[in-house]
Structure 1
């Protein structure tokens, strides 16, 4: 059910963003509504307001020079329909997502005692098995220049900077499986080597982490921005399947933010 879970989360996130956008739109605070009438090719627009003192709706004809008001009222009505649809659908989507989480088929097998696991053939590959398979997949990392000074991580990997070592060791200590500089083929066929690649425990999609460590160097910064453009053009959105961290000579890595990101996005259940 991973694809369904992933789609539900994406759709719910989009709905919440649209709902928040509409709620901030100035037209939503306007009083009244629009009525339209058409006879043949002639169209007439009316600004309608309910008059509580008179106990009835008061309609005012909108002249051609008042078309701006008609557009705002029409936009308000459109937004209102979107709001109503989201308000109906979003609770259902969130409830379904919660139910799916509760009925985790992987957990039904993982929670069995070993003595029973030995007797059972799971109906599908569990997420933990998929993670193990992913970690076993061979890959060719970006070759290190021979002149580079070896900087070793706790896992015995050679990395390109002290910051990458700090990050790699942080992920290792947090028990977050990763691949260092695993090649990623973009839509245009170009190959990038993200600093770190992870497998999302919820979606089983790969998530990429780039660390940009010399952001006070203008040439380096421009190359970093171009690289983020390449990711974006291949559908890897910042904050979704692309995560980044930055530093410069005067601005250090924000480890509180990194720790939060690991807990929210990358941590696998024990």
Structure 2
């Protein structure tokens, strides 16, 4: 886990809980009175209702009165949900009051630089983790002579204009990446177009761009076979693997690239 902003996580949870609370409160205001009793016999459920209070007599609900049972069951469920929401909100508020100003993850970041070099931290700040990840040496896949040269804004040579687009979009979004960093899928060595470090989760995600889907041989080699190899190694499309594609008639565009970045990487 990366440097944790606990207050931010709590705020997200509070917003979700408050939304559920409003829905439950609104539904409970319109809910009918009475007490629902459910009896199970030989795998079938039978529903009874009483007036509540002094009137404890049970009335059997026929099939034509099924909606009454649904309304009472929903009311009871909403009431229990509301109680659970309030208990969780109370616990969050109590925890926030007792939460120290700094978490253990932030202890290292607050140290004097001269002290930092003397210790091995239990948790690296995001900035240092990203720096270390980017500085890990690797040999990218060699670009063959005679291939048209394309360069990103960082001066990296890539294989296509579409890869320039993806690399520049990642860079502008502040997302760390490596171009064609080798990866072993079982015994097979591959070079994903982009190896991405998703922050703050520190999850590694691979982005493959398939640029010649007009070519059946390319599709067989780079789409069908490659996805199978990723999945056999536990890397699944839409989770640890992103794939973009294009043909001569439908080239990749920056709007699509940004939608993918916003959805999967932000």
Band the TM-score falls in, shorter-chain normalisation: 0.5 to 0.7
Distance 2:237 2:80 in 1: 29
Distance 2:188 2:258 in 1: 31
Q: Could you tell me which residue of structure 1 aligns to residue 176 of structure 2?
A: 177
Provide structure 1 residue ranges, at least 5 long, that are not aligned to the other structure.
none
Aligned-residue offset at 1:135: 1.8
Aligned-residue offset at 1:35: 2.6
Distance 1:158 1:81 in 2: 59
Q: 1:196 to 1:36 in 2, by over 3 A?
A: same
Q: Could you tell me which residue of structure 1 aligns to residue 254 of structure 2?
A: 253
RMSD: 5.7
Q: Could you tell me which residue of structure 1 aligns to residue 197 of structure 2?
A: 199
Distance 2:207 2:78 in 1: 37
Q: Could you tell me which residue of structure 1 aligns to residue 37 of structure 2?
A: 35
Aligned-residue offset at 1:108: 4.4
Q: Could you tell me which residue of structure 2 aligns to residue 46 of structure 1?
A: 47
Contact 2:165 2:254 in 1 (8 A): no
Contact 1:34 1:73 in 2 (8 A): no
Contact 1:246 1:253 in 2 (8 A): no
Distance 2:187 2:69 in 1: 45
Aligned pair count reads: 246
Provide structure 2 residue ranges, at least 5 long, that are not aligned to the other structure.
none
Instruction: Give the alignment of 1:1-270 within 5 angstroms.
Output: 2=2, 35-37=37-39, 45-48=46-49, 59-61=58-60, 88-89=87-88, 103-111=102-110, 116-120=112-116, 121-122=118-119, 123-127=121-125, 128-146=127-145, 148-186=147-185, 192-213=190-211, 217=214, 219=216, 224=223, 234=234, 236=236, 238=238, 241-243=240-242, 245=244, 249=250, 252-254=253-255, 257=258, 261=262, 265=265
Aligned-residue offset at 1:265: 4.2
- The superposition leaves residues 207-243 of structure 1 with CA deviations (integer Å, 9 ceiling, x where unpaired) of 333334556x4957786477567656625462x5444
Q: Which has the larger radius of gyration?
A: 2
Aligned-residue offset at 1:140: 3.8
TM-score relative to the length of structure 2: 0.57
Aligned-residue offset at 1:109: 4.0
Q: 1:42 to 1:130 in 2, by over 3 A?
A: closer
Distance 2:100 2:225 in 1: 38
Distance 2:84 2:158 in 1: 50
SS for the counterpart of 1:168 is helix
Contact 2:205 2:242 in 1 (8 A): yes
Aligned-residue offset at 1:129: 2.9
Aligned-residue offset at 1:154: 3.8
TM-score relative to the length of structure 1: 0.56
